[in-house]
Amino acid sequence: MDALTIYAIGIILSFMIAWAIGANDASNPTECAVGAGIISINKAIYLFAIFTALGALLQGYMVMKTLDRGIVPYISIPGSLVITLSAVLWIGLCSWIGMPISTTHSIVGAVIGYGIAAYGLERVNWAVADKIFISMILSPILSLILAIALYYISTSIFKKLRWDTQTIDRLIKWLLISSLCFSAYSFGANDVANATGVFVTVTKELGKIPDNTAMFFMALLGCVGILIGGLSLGPRVIKVAGMKTTHLVPITGFAAELSNALIVYLFTTIPYIIFGYGMPISTTHSSIGSIIGVGLVGGSGVDKIIVTRIILAWALTLPTTIVLSITLYITIIPFLSA
C-alpha cells in the first residue's frame, strides 16, 4: 500500500478521533453551566464550538509538537495510522456509553505503545513521558484544590457586595458563561493535538510545506471534527459529568469551571515557555477534579458510584491504549508494508 493511501486513511481516522474527542470532551467546558441550569445543552455546545476553534487555531501548535516528536523519535505514516486507530477504538467505546475519559491519555498511551513496538523501550523519550504522567496526576488534584479556593473566595466577595440578590445572581451567571468560553478556548489549545498531532510531520513531508503551515492545517481539521462530535454525542457525557457527579448551582459551577480553565491553560502555556512544548493534560481529569472539589465544599456532596466508575475508566485508559497500539502495530504494519 503506497504512502499517500495510508496517509489518506490516517487522516480519515484522525478526523474520527477529533469527532470522538468532541463527543467525549465537549462536557469539560460546558458541564458546569449546564449542570447549574443557567444555559441549555445546545447553547452551551455552540459556545464550546466557537471558542474551541479559536483555541485550536491560535494556540493548538503548542501541544502538537509534544505529541508529534516529543515522546518518540519519529512517527511514520503507518505508525500514525496505528496510533490513531488505537485511540479511536477506545475513545469511541467510552463516548458511546457516556463515560468521560481522558482522550489525552488515550493518545499518549497509543504513542507510547507505538514507540515500544517500533523502537523498543529504550528509545521512548521517558523524560517527556514522565512529565506528562506527572501532569496527569497533578491536574485533577490542582483543579480540585483551586476550585475549593475559588469557591470560598468568590462566596466571600459576593457576600460583601451590597447589591440586591437578583443582580448578584445575574453577575454569577455571566461569570459562569465567561468561564465556559475561557475553558473551551483552553480546551481547544490543549486537546486539538490529541486528534491531529501525530500527523504534523508526515503532513509537512508529503505536502512539502512549512512546519507552522502543517500544524495550522491539522488544527483546522481537528477543530472541525471536534465541533461535529460535540454537537452529536456531546450531550450524553455532559449529563453524566454535569448532572450526576454532583448537584451544581451557579456559584459552585463558576468556581469549578474557572478552575478547570485556568489549570488547562497554564499547563498548555507555561511548559511551552519553559521547555518549548506544551504539556498535554487531561481536560477531563481537570474538569471532574474541579466538580468534585466544589461538590465536597458546596454542600451537595458527590455521587460516589459515578465517581468510582469514572476513576476506573481513567485507570484503564493508559494501559488499554498502550496494549492496543502494540497489538495493532504487530498486526497491521506487515500488511501495510507488503
Interacting residues of 233 by C-beta distance below 8 A, sequence separation 6+ = 23, 24, 95, 96
| pLDDT exceeds 90 at position 27 | no
Separation CA 140–CA 157 (nearest Å): 25
Q: Are 252 and 295 in contact (CB under 8 A)?
A: yes
pLDDT at 109: 92
Radius of gyration over alpha carbons of the chain, in Å?
Answer: 20
Q: How far is residue 330's CA from residue 270's CA, in Å, rounded to a whole number?
A: 37
**What's the chain's average pLDDT?**
84
User: What was the pLDDT predicted at 259?
Assistant: 96
pTM above 0.85, yes or no: no
Which residue bears the cell 502555556? Answer: 269
pLDDT at 286: 92
DSSP string for 31-64: HHHHHTTSS-HHHHHHHHHHHHHHHHHHHTHHHH
Judge whether residue 317 has pLDDT over 80. yes
Assigned C-alpha cell, 151: 469557591
Task: Say if residue 146's pLDDT is above 80.
Answer: yes
pLDDT of 59 > 70? The answer is: yes
Element (H, E) at 19: helix 3-25
Give helix 27-35 / helix 165-196 axis angle, nearest 10°: 160
pLDDT digits (tens, 9 = 90+) for 229-259: 888 878 878 877 777 788 889 999 999 999 9
Could you identify the residue written with the cell 458546569?
32
- Nearest-10 crossing angle of helices 103-119, 61-69: 30
Chain centre distance of CA 75: 21
- How is residue 263 written as a grid cell? 489549570
Q: Does residue 224 contact residue 11 with C-beta atoms inside 8 Å? A: no
The x, y and z cell numbers of residue 255, run together, are 468556581
Q: What is the pLDDT of residue 264?
A: 92
CA–CA separation, 192 and 261 (whole Å): 15
In angstroms, the CA 330 to CA 272 distance is 34
Q: From residue 267, give the alpha-carbon distance in Å to each of 90, 287, 312.
A: 24, 14, 24
- Write the DSSP symbol of residue 218: H
Q: Which residue has the cell 445546545?
A: 42
Residues 6+ apart with CB under 8 A from 222: 14, 18, 56, 60, 192, 193, 195, 196
Inter-axis angle of helices 126-160 and 283-297, to 10 degrees? 30
CA-to-CA separations, 85 to 24, 207, 319, in angstroms, rounded: 17, 22, 15
DSSP string, 144-209: HHHHHHHHHHHHHHHHH--S-HHHHHHHHHHHHHHHHHHHHHHHHHHHHHHHHGGGHHHHHHHHT-
Structure confidence by residue, pLDDT tens digits, 153-196 = 999 999 888 888 899 999 999 999 999 999 999 988 887 766 66
